Structure 1
């Protein structure tokens, strides 16, 4: 198995509900020397295109529709000749940033195959209605976008988010995975399922 995981960090702003925040985003490139997927399309296209190189991009997978995760999705799609995928439950967020731009509804897909390995697509709403996580069992890898971070759930204090829903998603779909699964997040450091699982009741008690 030659599949590997590469990270590109880009910087820009996240805007919602009238506020703007400076953020660094993780963009994950997963695949082998021939085929890859790009997970999220944050802020600047050039470093992502450079990291992809001459490899074929099967899809640009947007973990959710917040602007900092889809900033350059249409530009990447054109430059890399790759389709964009997004869960339709986040269409209202997509239309705010890229009105009328096309994408392939991710909710029509439950599994992709990449470099001979399976990519299971898990609908994990809460941070946003259409948030998804990607599980690659053969790599022991889970890409969670803004659903689960090192230290707890993603933020749920803004429009279209819900704390009880994100807890259900994490408990029912993510913490059931093997403890050794590495969690590759949308921002910040990686963690593991085993490291986060014991804190579930503390997250519920604190309410965020």
Structure 2
């Protein structure tokens, strides 16, 4: 089956097989429709979960007997970590999050952040590497994760910082919007090619090339 990136809560996951990494996307919670991404290194079997957002039973079943090395929480908002405590208790996975959001995540979930990260840090998925991109604005410690596939195009997990059609919500805070769109433009669009596929925290995926022409319009509208 061809990967499309379109998933719905209660529906089947969508699976993408890269040369060295398998990406499984699933949507949870009918109200919020959060995306969770299970990444598996094809050579070692190590697995990393991006956002234990909700429905811990489903996520633990998805992880299966292979175990879970790490859970990355892309930012501190409640809808992205509701299943964190139960997933970590079941798997013993280490917790990674952006340094400015780490304390809030622990306060909200009761789960310590084992490894606070920032721009330039990396997260291992077996023999594969995810580069951390700090994208402040939606929250102070929001992060994206970049996998530069040696056999193909880049893949970027953006949390709620970038969606098809715009950057993440900054809740009317003009300074936060300017910071977010500046960082998305300089750290993502100026750095990565058009064929970069990105995976957001809600909804369908897109490519940077599909969104790039709209950047001036996003900046002009202010959201």
TM class by shorter chain equals: 0.7 to 0.9
Question: Any conservation in 2 of the 1:10–1:43 contact (CA below 8 Å)?
Answer: yes
Structure 1 distance, partners of 2:203, 2:25, is 11
Distance 1:185 1:53 in 2: 24
Matched-pair contact (CA < 8 Å) for 1:8–1:47: no
TM-score, normalised with respect to structure 2: 0.82
Kept in 1, the 8 Å contact 2:106–2:113? The answer is no
Q: Deviations over 1:11-57 (max 9, x none)?
A: 16xxxxxxxxx311000011135111000011210111111111131
The question of 1:118 aligning with 2:133 is answered: no
**Corresponding position of 2:71:** 60
2:96 paired with 1:85: yes
Call closer, same or farther: CA 1:158–1:39 in 2, change over 3 Å.
farther
Aligned to 2:176: 162
Match of 2:115 in 1: 105
Using the alignment, how far apart are the partners of 2:22 and 2:106 within structure 1?
Answer: 33
Which secondary structure state, in structure 1, belongs to the residue aligned with residue 76 of structure 2? coil
Question: Which blocks of at least 5 consecutive residues in structure 1 are unaligned?
Answer: 13-21
The aligned counterpart of 1:199 is: 214
How much has 1:8 moved relative to structure 2?
A: 1.5
Aligned to 2:52: 41
Unmatched 5+ stretches in structure 2: 1-18
**By how many angstroms is 1:101 displaced?**
2.8
Q: Using the TM superposition, give the Cα deviation of residue 106 of structure 1 relative to its aligned residue in structure 2, in angstroms.
A: 2.6
RMSD (Å), alpha carbons: 1.9
When residues 125 and 96 of structure 1 are mapped into structure 2, their CA distance, relative to the original with a 3 A threshold, is same
Give distance in 1, aligned partners of 2:181 and 2:20. 34
More strand per residue: 1
